[in-house]
Amino acid sequence: MAKGQISNVASSQNMHILGGWTFLIGVILAVVFGAGFLTSSAWLIVLVVIGIIVGLLNVASSEVKSFLFSSAILIIVSSLGKDTLNVIPVLRNILDALLSVFIPATIIVAVKHVFILERH
């Protein structure tokens, strides 16, 4: 393998690791935010930005279909579940916060996938 190819592979792996950590931080912050420990509306913007970063960095081409399938289910269940869980406000807030991470991530991955499909 040439030096440039090794550098590209290492850079790709670093971006994937950064995306993985961003995803984990996003989920943790969504739970913390949803549980009411952080109540500022600025945190909602942070969750959306984390979702965008996850969509851009975290999903490899081999993971796109399973990510889209899983995230679509999560979005549907969270959207419907928060109405059902109205009696438990903390769970409803956590689901709302998770939606703030997963909706932008899913949109980014889906749009990237559509462009990849169009190229072929």
Note whether 30 and 93 are within 8 A (CB): no
Q: What is the pLDDT of residue 3?
A: 53
Q: For the segment 30-44, what is each residue's pLDDT rounded down to a tens digit? A: 899 888 876 667 788
Predicted TM-score (pTM) of the model is 0.79
Place of tokens 């590209």: 8
> What is the pLDDT at residue 11?
64
Residue ranges in the chain modelled with pLDDT below 50 = none
pLDDT confidence of residue 61: 80
**Residue 38 confidence (pLDDT):** 65
Task: With CA atoms as reference, report the closest residue to 62 among 109, 18, 7.
Answer: 109
Residue 48's Cβ-count burial label (10 Å; 0-12, 13-18, 19+) is middle
